[in-house]
Amino acid sequence: MTKGNQEQKRITIVGLGLIGGSLGLAIKAAGQPGMEIVGHDRNRVVANKARKMGAIDRAEHNLPRAVQGAGMVVIATPVLAIREVMEQIAPDLPEGCVVTDTGSTKERILEWAAELLPPSVSFVGGHPMAGKETQGIDNAEPDLFRGRAYCLCPAVDAHEDAVRAVTGLVRLAGAEPLFLDPQEHDQYAAAVSHLPLLLSASLFTLLRASPAWNDLAPMASSSFRDVTRLASGDPQMAHDIFLTNRDAAVHWLDRMIEEMGRYRDLLEGDTEELLETFAQAQMDRDSFLAEPHPRRLQGEEPAEVRKELFNSLVGGWIADRTKKVRELPGLMRETRTSRAKRTAEDIRHDLEKLEAKRQKKDRG
């Protein structure tokens, strides 16, 4: 093997936690001949453990030396640490080297790459849509990425060979490449990844702060644990995500607050509409689980088509159940106007009062 070929087959992974360690294990499990994986972690104990468990071939505790001779460098650290790593490795990156990352946000990271990395290397931003609340090398596993989407956001000046190389790495790990614009990625990630983290943490902090917590806790079983699972994740990771993706997170949080308001109105309103909403949510989620990556050649399914299908499948059941519920004493409540209608009525009453005062003043 020539020196050039050896460099192209050397991958350096910076950060050997759950993601970096799992990526190393996945590459090793693929059994690529001649592939050398060099690992670096600021914690030497972690780096040595990664070597012993077979996630890397060699641990290099000096970061600049770790990237020397590498054909590809994968930065698998928390988001804010990525900038620091780029600054430290930039002078020692070989010409033609491919640099990628695994950060949960992309727009800010691509800005750092353009600012800090030398023009002789190519940067391809990456974000595996995989993980779990348990962190660290001890929880790494080779199948973590299998069947999952792996977002790729190449820099505008990234060489085609670099994009192909990172795409090959993604497929080697068993994941499916998904190419996105960085701004688009951050908006979508905020919806499907970052918003669930906010909801998980906020539900736990809400109930944990309740004076009734000592009575609530013994009752908190699988549903509560499932929904609050993400609150047990790495707080540094969560902090970095929201610092680098504030606007998108706030956008989706505002949308979620609106949706919770809609559900609140449903609870105060007609029982049939409430049942329809839960039934529609179940049907749509079951369809998503059966086909996580729907492909529609002619755009989104029209709303009227979805409504017709829904009615044909469960419309009769909903009508029958609603009829039975209405016959049960004590369960039905008078249908209340929505909060929006109540607000409009309040404003109208206030305006009428102001107008009455003005007329009284004019008469006086």
Give pLDDT tens digits for 160-181: 999 999 999 999 999 999 999 9
Look at residues 181, 205, 225 and tell me which one is the last residue of a structural domain.
181
- DSSP state, residue 256: H
Look at residues 163, 181, 199 and tell me which one is the last residue of a structural domain.
181
Does 307 lie in the same domain as 362? no
Among candidate residues 22, 261, 21, the one with its CA nearest the CA of residue 145: 22
Does 295 lie in the same domain as 175? no
How many contiguous H segments (helices) and E segments (strands) does the chain have?
A: 17, 8
What is the Cα gyration radius of the chain? 27
The predicted pLDDT at position 298 comes to 46
How far, CA to CA in Å, does 338 sit from each of 269, 313, 318, 335, 341?
Answer: 8, 28, 22, 9, 5
Does 109 lie in the same domain as 30? yes
Q: Is 54 helix (H, G, I), strand (E, B) or coil?
A: coil
Does 290 lie in the same domain as 175? no
Does 276 lie in the same domain as 176? no
Q: At what angle do helices 235-243 and 246-268 cross, to 10 degrees?
A: 100
Residue 350 located in a structural domain: yes
Beta strands in the chain (DSSP E): 10-14, 36-40, 58-59, 72-75, 98-101, 122-128, 149-154, 176-179
Residue 220 located in a structural domain: no
**Given a cut of 50, is residue 119 above it in pLDDT?**
yes
Residue 228 located in a structural domain: no
Residue 67 located in a structural domain: yes
Q: What is the pLDDT of residues 175-226, one digit of tens each?
A: 999 999 999 999 999 999 999 999 999 999 999 999 999 999 999 999 999 9
The predicted pLDDT at position 61 comes to 95
**Given a cut of 80, is residue 317 above it in pLDDT?**
no
**Given a cut of 80, is residue 325 above it in pLDDT?**
no
Q: What is the pLDDT of residues 235-281, one digit of tens each?
A: 988 999 999 999 999 999 999 999 999 999 999 887 788 888 898 89
Does 358 lie in the same domain as 284? no
What is the number of domains present in the chain?
Answer: 3
The predicted pLDDT at position 341 comes to 64
- DSSP state, residue 336: P
How far, CA to CA in Å, does 63 sit from each of 6, 80, 85?
Answer: 19, 17, 8
Range of the domain at 289: 270-332
**Given a cut of 90, is residue 132 above it in pLDDT?**
no
Residue 356 located in a structural domain: yes
Does 361 lie in the same domain as 282? no
Distance between alpha carbon 175 and the CA centroid of its chain, in Å?
16
Look at residues 133, 166, 181 and tell me which one is the last residue of a structural domain.
181
